[in-house]
Structure 1
Amino acid sequence: MLKVTVELWPGGRESGSRVLATAKIGRVKNGALADYKVELHEDVQGEIGAATLHDYPRCASTIWDLVARAVAVALTGKEELPPRPQELDVPIHAVGNTSYVRLREIPEPARSLFQKRIAFSTRPLIDEDPEPMDCAYAWDWRDFLDGGR
């Protein structure tokens, strides 16, 4: 079995590193054309996908070709990459001098990751919003998008 691990190394240093995602790729049928089962997991989302890569020509390319195709099959069901994700377009709202985002308007998986990053941050209480406790400061959102959180 292969286990591919994606780690974050803050500032390029191994100390303080943490695992963001793993892929497990196991051969389930031997032969010149082998089958591989793949399971993708992320720290925040849990299981992302699972599938089988059928009739892969062993030893015909690099291990990275196998990894790329296995990941693609688990994500899309086919040996092709999904469309490139679009930039997150989350509206910024304002009440008086307070700019904020609504957490419910942030698509997953960004919402869960952002909520985890602001868990101990101050958040605004926007009385005018239909869900006043579901808001975060716009600067925290921008910092998150810029990689600062």
Structure 2
Amino acid sequence: MLRVTVELLPGGRESGRRVLATAKIGRVESGTAADYRVELQEDALGDIGAATLRTYPRLSSTIWDLVARAIAVALTGREELPPRPQPLNVPIHHAGRTSYVRLREIPEPAASLFRKRIEFSTRPLIEEDPQPMDCAYSWDWLDFLAGRK
């Protein structure tokens, strides 16, 4: 079995490293055209996908080709990459002097990651908003996008 681990090294320092995601790729059928089972998991989101890469021509390319195709199959069901994600274009709203974002307007997986990062942060109560408790300060959102939160 192969295990591919994605780690974050803040500032390039090993001392602060943490695992963000793993892919497990195991051969389930041997031969020159083997089948591989792949399972993807992210620390913040849990299981992302699982699938089988069928009749892969072993020893015909690099290990990175196998890894890329296995991940693509787990994400899309096919040996092709999904469309490139669109940039996050979350509007910033204003209520008096308070600028804020609506958590419901943040697409996944950014919404789940952001909620986790602001779990213990102060959040505004925007009375004019249809869902007044579903908001976060815009500076927390911008810090999150910049990698500071």
Letter in 1 for 2:78: K
Show the counterpart of 1:112: 112
- Show structure 1 runs of 4+ deviating over 4 A: none
Letter in 2 for 1:18: R
Letter in 2 for 1:98: T
Letter in 2 for 1:61: S
TM-score for the superposition, normalised by structure 2: 0.97
Letter in 2 for 1:141: W
What is the deviation of 1:63? 0.5
Show the counterpart of 2:89: 89
Give 1:24-43 correspondences, 5 Å limit.
24-43=24-43
TM-score for the superposition, normalised by structure 1: 0.97
Tell whether 2:137 aligns with 1:137: yes
- Secondary structure at the aligned position of 1:147 is classed as coil
- Secondary structure at the aligned position of 1:143 is classed as helix
Give 1:42-53 correspondences, 5 Å limit.
42-53=42-53
Tell whether 2:12 aligns with 1:12: yes
- Secondary structure at the aligned position of 2:5 is classed as strand
Query: 1:87-128 CA deviation, whole Å, 9 max, x = no partner?
Result: 011111100111100111111110110111112222111111
| Distance across 1 between alignment mates of 2:113 and 2:11 | 19
| Distance across 2 between alignment mates of 1:121 and 1:9 | 24
- Secondary structure at the aligned position of 2:15 is classed as coil
Aligned length: 149
- Secondary structure at the aligned position of 2:73 is classed as helix
- Secondary structure at the aligned position of 2:14 is classed as coil
| Distance across 2 between alignment mates of 1:49 and 1:113 | 18
Calculate percent identity across the aligned residue pairs.
78
Uncovered stretches (5+) of structure 1, i.e. residues with no partner = none
Query: 1:21-63 CA deviation, whole Å, 9 max, x = no partner?
Result: 1000000000000000000001111111110001111111111
| Distance across 2 between alignment mates of 1:59 and 1:130 | 58
